């Protein structure tokens, strides 16, 4: 899952980014409302974390403009303000939830998981394709009776494949969701990671789940 953090306090933004990446999310960070609005309108994020007090365009304005463009992705606002009226203003602008600073990272993670579940098509925290299972809460993967150890990037890649089963995913789409908007698409790092994941998911099994679509990209499916 890919998250955009719009936060002008660089130390706080760095802290949030590191924590979310440790939770297996792909994270982009910008420090002003104009940059956040532009990325929010053009990049395929799964969730936005928006501080209210940011330069150039405040968080409320950013949220209103995104919603006016019919962009419906979940938005969590961060605020140092504590009055009911200020929190209500953020929710009325179109935010889905709020968190007051200072906050515990565990609470941030829990609120993000809740918003992502709320916005997801499936109601179960488990993804399945054939005999492959991915637990979205524990981040554990298993095929048949074999547990699969995954790095953070491999987990993100597997989740993206499983959420888009039977769909051909180009290298550009994969880079946008698993890495970030300034990823160098001229490298072969995507192919390297897919090969690593394929060795873990398919090696030793009769049926391959990850398939190469020549000249296009990759697809995960439960049939040849």
pLDDT in tens, 78-131: 988 767 877 888 899 999 999 998 889 999 999 998 898 776 554 457 889 999
CATH number, domain of 212, equals 1.10.10.10
Q: Is residue 100 within a helix (H) or strand (E), and if so which, with residue range?
A: strand 97-100
In the listed set 68, 97, 119, which residue is the last one of a domain according to the structure?
119
3-state secondary structure 160-185: HHHHCCCCCEEHHHHHHHHCCCCCCC
Q: Which of 60, 85, 119 marks a domain boundary?
A: 119
| Full residue range of the structural domain in which residue 193 is found | 126-220
Cα 91-94-95 angle, rounded to 5 deg: 60
pLDDT score for 149: 93
pLDDT tens, N- to C-terminus, the chain (224 residues) = 789 999 999 999 999 999 998 888 889 999 999 999 999 998 889 999 999 999 999 999 999 999 999 998 999 999 887 678 778 888 999 999 999 988 899 999 999 988 987 765 544 578 899 999 998 878 899 999 899 999 988 998 999 999 888 989 988 788 877 776 556 656 788 899 999 999 999 998 989 999 999 888 999 998 65
31 and 105 within one domain: yes
Residue 106 — left, alpha, or beta (φ > 0 → left; ψ -120 to 50 → alpha)? alpha
pLDDT score at 172: 79
Q: How many CB atoms lie within 10 A of CB 200?
A: 19
Entry pTM: 0.64
pLDDT of residue 183: 60
Percent of the chain residues topping a pLDDT of 70: 93
Same domain, 111 and 6: yes
Per-residue pLDDT tens over the stretch 169-180:
988 788 877 776
Give the residue among 60, 201, 186 at the shortest CA–CA distance from 143. 201
Q: CATH code at 44?
A: 3.40.50.2300
Do 115 and 178 belong together in one domain? no
């Amino acid at each position: 899952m890919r998250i955009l953090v719009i936060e002008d306090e660089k130390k706080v933004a760095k802290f949030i980014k590191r924590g979310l990446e440790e939770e297996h999310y792909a994270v982009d960070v910008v420090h002003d409302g104009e940059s956040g609005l532009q990325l929010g309108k053009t990049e395929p994020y799964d969730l936005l974390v928006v501080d209210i007090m940011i330069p150039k365009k405040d968080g409320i304005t950013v949220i209103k403009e995104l919603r006016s463009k019919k962009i419906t992705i979940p938005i969590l606002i961060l605020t140092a303000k504590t009055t009911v009226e200020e929190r209500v203003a953020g929710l009325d602008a179109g935010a889905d939830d709020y968190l007051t600073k200072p906050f515990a990272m565990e609470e941030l993670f829990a609120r993000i998981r809740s918003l992502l579940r709320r916005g997801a098509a499936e109601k179960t925290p488990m993804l399945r394709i054939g005999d492959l299972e991915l637990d979205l809460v524990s981040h554990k993967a298993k095929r048949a009776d074999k547990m699969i150890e995954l790095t953070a990037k491999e987990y993100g890649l597997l989740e993206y494949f499983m959420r888009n089963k039977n769909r051909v995913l180009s290298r550009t789409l994969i880079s946008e969701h698993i890495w970030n908007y300034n990823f160098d698409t001229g490298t072969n790092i995507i192919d390297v990671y897919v090969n690593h994941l394929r060795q873990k998911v398919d090696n030793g099994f009769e049926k391959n789940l990850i398939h190469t679509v020549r000249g296009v990209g990759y697809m995960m499916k439960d049939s040849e």
